[in-house]
Structure 1
Amino acid sequence: MVGQLPEWMTGFLLAYDRILSELFWFLVGFLVVYLVGQFVLVPVAVRVVRSRNRNNPTIESATETYLQVFLIGFATVTGIIAAGYGFVFSESAVIIAAITFGLGIAGQQVFGSLISGLFLVTDPDFNVGDWISWQGGEGTIEAVDFRVTRVRTPDNETISVPNTELTNNALTRPYGRDTYRVTEQVFLAYYEDTERALMELQQIAANFESVLDDPAPNARVIDLGENAITVQAELWIEDPGNSDIATLRSDFRRAVKRQFDEEGITLAPPAAQLLSGELTVTDRATASGSDE
């Protein structure tokens, strides 16, 4: 049947059959390697890493991510060899050089993010679940991926931060320890009893359930300013990742204002001078009638 076809159609069918055969063997080689790696090798490697790094979930997450990237690349190479194009990797030096050059130009940022991610993973103070703060924002680390680090913000939003941004800029880990200190400043008028105000601040902080007894809340004078005395309350909380810091600050400020009002402690006036006294208004006509 094929011999009765025109020569050009016969060549087309043979070429089409060859392409399908090469595609079939490529898929076979790719899928065998990928499925075995995805369902056997990667889970085993992740379990080994987890057993040896129980207190560092970052390494576990990164190991799974990088193994999957390597697995896809290795499965692709295996598929190319299975399809009969293995000679490309040994004889086509010009093609390999061109591909390498193209990847070097187009993938410079990707490779930079990968290297940055490796540095973040090996940093013992950078772990999944830690709260970090950088120039662009703050939040809790959820995962360190191939190119970006996923961070959950205080607004419960997940953002993807390029790894290079975290390694090239200053990174703060305010909640990286067991406890965290919350500080709140209050401005007092100069004529108020500073010692009484400090005692009230300590008592207010001690009444909050989330505030630790050890270290105990403290209050101190920070500055003798031009128009006010600056005092600061210092209170400690634990596991700040599970606490709403913004709500705690708001509740503390409300309690300070309410308590100071009840105790008659005056906060610093908003202006440089505080006017006091009284003004009496007299009706001139009434005053003239009373004189007569």
Structure 2
Amino acid sequence: MEEVIGGPFSAVLMNAGKALLVLIVGWILAGRLGAIVRKRVNSNEHIDPTLGNFFASLVKWAVLAIVLVAVLGIFGIQATSIVAILGAASLAIGLALQGTLSDLAAGVMLVVFRPYKLGQFVDIGGTSGTVKDLNLFTTELVTPDNVQIIVPNGQAWGSIITNYSAHDTRRVDLVFGIDYDDSADTAMEIILDIAKADSRVHDDPEPWVRVTNLGDSSVDLTARLWCDAADYWDVKFELTKSIKEAFDAKGVSIPYPHTVEIKKSA
């Protein structure tokens, strides 16, 4: 009796051990192959690094699928049987995995059309960050304060994508309000002199300053400057500070919001 019970039980244990070994080896192999594909693709200067991450993810999941079939084969479930089962349950599987399949399809579309690439700063449906990874199912963003955000590819593809890094240059808009008693021409000259003195500001298109609004408390001046996309924030912050200091030195005031009351005699 012990031999009869022990025989099948030992076979099950042996198959389980083999399956576990195949899973471990397959998982390690999938990771290694994915890393090799990523390294080979990214080492080619003519191929975008975004494709390296995507192809690495594709290879990894393909190897894991083969490993799963091999594990099922250890327990006597043949590949033809798996196909038959999946075919019979295709409707249920499709409904259960429609979100995942949608992310997979969207991932392919993102790689084909490439609305964003690794290292670019984007806004996806109101979520902003630098693209760190794009794989089969998700896009990984990192915010300026180093917070990780995972966006399913289906949501990314179906949302409005604003890519701030798509072009080499960007326009910097600066708005300053000056007092009604100050000279707009003097203030505009100060802004232009500082802008033209900054080597990061492009000469073409030429810096532009105009009176754009007569507000309740101030005359609003708008400056439009062009610079390299990588210099955008430095130019915006540093010129704002420099122009404010120049206004102070030249006696151009930036007024607080206020209301003037005028009384007329009867």
Do structure 1's residue 59 and structure 2's residue 56 form an aligned pair? no
Structure 1 vs Structure 2 CA RMSD: 3.1
Question: Is structure 2 residue 167 aligned with structure 1 residue 173?
Answer: no
TM-score w.r.t. structure 2 length? 0.81
1:12 is paired with a residue whose SS is: helix
Contact 2:34 2:57 (8 Å CA) reproduced: no
Shift of the 136–91 alpha-carbon distance from structure 1 to 2, 3 Å rule, reads: closer
| Inter-CA distance 121–91: structure 2 relative to 1 (3 Å threshold) | closer
1:131 aligns with 2:133: no
Q: Which residue of 2 aligns with 1:218?
A: 208
107, 113, 132: which is aligned to 1:117?
107
Moved more, 251-260 or 138-147: 251-260
Q: How does 1:1-292 map to 2 (within 5 A)?
A: 7=1, 9-27=2-20, 39=32, 42=34, 45-46=37-38, 49-50=41-42, 54-86=46-78, 89-90=80-81, 93=84, 95-97=85-87, 99-208=89-198, 210-225=200-215, 227-240=217-230, 245=233, 248-273=235-260
CA distance in 1, matches of 2:81, 2:16: 21
CA contact (8 A) 1:28 1:79 kept: no
Q: Look up the equivalent residue of 1:15 and give its one-letter code.
A: P
- Secondary structure of 2:77 counterpart: coil
Count of residue pairs brought into register by the alignment: 262
Give how far 1:42 is off.
4.5
Q: Which moved more, 1:250-259 or 1:166-175?
A: 250-259
Go from structure 1 to structure 2 and tell me whether the alpha carbon gap of 1:78 and 1:38 turns closer, same or farther (over 3 Å shift).
Answer: same
| Letter in structure 1 aligned against 2:248 | D
Residue identity opposite 1:199 in structure 2: E
Identity %: 23
| Aligned-residue offset at 1:165 | 2.4
| Partner SS state of residue 166, structure 1 | helix
Q: Is the 8 A contact 1:184 1:232 kept in 2?
A: yes
Helix, strand or coil for the counterpart of 2:162? coil
Instruction: State whether residues 130 and 143 of structure 2, in contact with CA within 8 Å, keep that contact through their aligned partners in structure 1.
Output: yes
Task: Give the match's secondary structure for 1:192.
Answer: coil
Deviations 1:159-184 (A, max 9, x none): 21222222111111122111222211
What residue in structure 2 maps to residue 281 of structure 1?
none
Range with greater deviation from structure 2 (161-170 or 266-275): 266-275
**SS at 1:132 equivalent:** strand
Please say which structure displays the higher CA radius of gyration: 1
Q: Is the 8 A contact 1:189 1:269 kept in 2?
A: no
Aligned partner of residue 181 in structure 1, secondary structure: strand
Deviations 1:58-87 (A, max 9, x none): 111111012101110111112322443216
Cα distance in 2 for residues equivalent to 1:38 and 1:153: 27
